[in-house]
Amino acid sequence: MFGVTILGNNSALPAYDRHPTSQVVTLDQYQFLIDCGEGTQMQLARYKIRRSRINHIFISHMHGDHYFGLPGLITSMGLLGRDTDLHLYAPPLIKPIIDLMLSAADTQFGYTLHFHPLESEGMLLDDAKFSVECFRVFHRIECWGFIFREKKKPRRINKQAIGSYQLPTGYFERLKMGEDVITETGEVVLNEEVTLPNAPAKSYAFCGDTLFNPIVAEKVKGVSLLYHETTYLKGLEDRAHLRFHSTTTQAAEIAVRANAENLLIGHFSSKYEVLDEFLQEAKDVFPATSLAIEGVTYIIQ
């Protein structure tokens, strides 16, 4: 399973039981936390996501609605007896803040917190099954987007087609990787004759707080699901620009330019109680749009 669960979909001021930004990306057995606004640990409990399964946390920037829940979460992990390493990818300024808080509380964790400062665009995590990259977005202070990519999946053996070759299964791994093989009798078996392509590798891009900038579309080109902030409805482009945020149509325009397959919108201003117009306005530009609703998991197809 590859999906993203929304824990907070509101902008800076919590309102209408909408919470500040936080999301959990699930990729098979892995769970990654993106941003950690105040109350994230309570939202994890509310939606029955186990804190202990999260080993990697990504923080986009140093505005409080994106990380004020982090000290509480990592402290609770310690109180719950965690002993697994935790990796934090965040702006460098977060480290002295956490260090001061821990020292003031006279607290030591029973686990190791590895701090990976975000300083340049590129690969953060490169596993056999997935990768995570960061890229710059355009906010009032330095701010990062993240892309989660499945690794390309192996091809599937076409059992019907391979039957005529009577190949030993020892050849299968190379065939799955896309190679042609030569049998012991010297016969060439073309890969495309005996294998089927697997589902294409999927990807998820998170663009938290950012003003409208086509450079963002270049960074997230071709993603399966793009999350892009929409703090305001259309018509408020000037206000959005002044505050380094985006409107519905601007987010949808990024999805169009990126040739994304699907768009997820969130970070709604607390000036809006009802969200229907957000969805309609974005869909008018990019039909495959969904509203980010707290507690809902969006499967990346």
User: Which residues of the chain form contacts with a copy of itself (CB under 8 A)?
Assistant: 12-15, 19-20, 38-39, 41-42, 45, 62-65, 68-69, 71-72, 75-76, 79-80, 91, 93-94, 96-97, 100-101, 103-106, 140-141
Phi and psi at residue 21, to the nearest 5°: -60, 130
Closer to a copy of itself by Cβ: residue 78 or 266: 78
Least separation in angstroms between residue 230's CB and a copy of itself is 19
Side chain identity at 1, as an amino acid letter? Answer: M
Least separation in angstroms between residue 213's CB and a copy of itself is 19
Side chain identity at 273, as an amino acid letter? Answer: E
| Two tokens, residue 105 | 């509380």
Closer to a copy of itself by Cβ: residue 62 or 161: 62
Strand runs labelled E in the chain:
2-8, 22-27, 30-36, 54-58, 86-90, 113-117, 122-126, 130-137, 143-150, 156-157, 181-182, 188-189, 195-196, 203-207, 225-229, 262-266, 289-291, 297-299
Least separation in angstroms between residue 101's CB and a copy of itself is 6
Q: Give helix 94-104 / helix 70-79 axis angle, nearest 10°.
A: 50
Least separation in angstroms between residue 46's CB and a copy of itself is 8
Residues tagged active-site: 65
Closer to a copy of itself by Cβ: residue 76 or 297: 76
Cα angle vertex 118, ends 238, 129, to 5°?
105
Give 50's DSSP letter. -
Closer to a copy of itself by Cβ: residue 62 or 157: 62
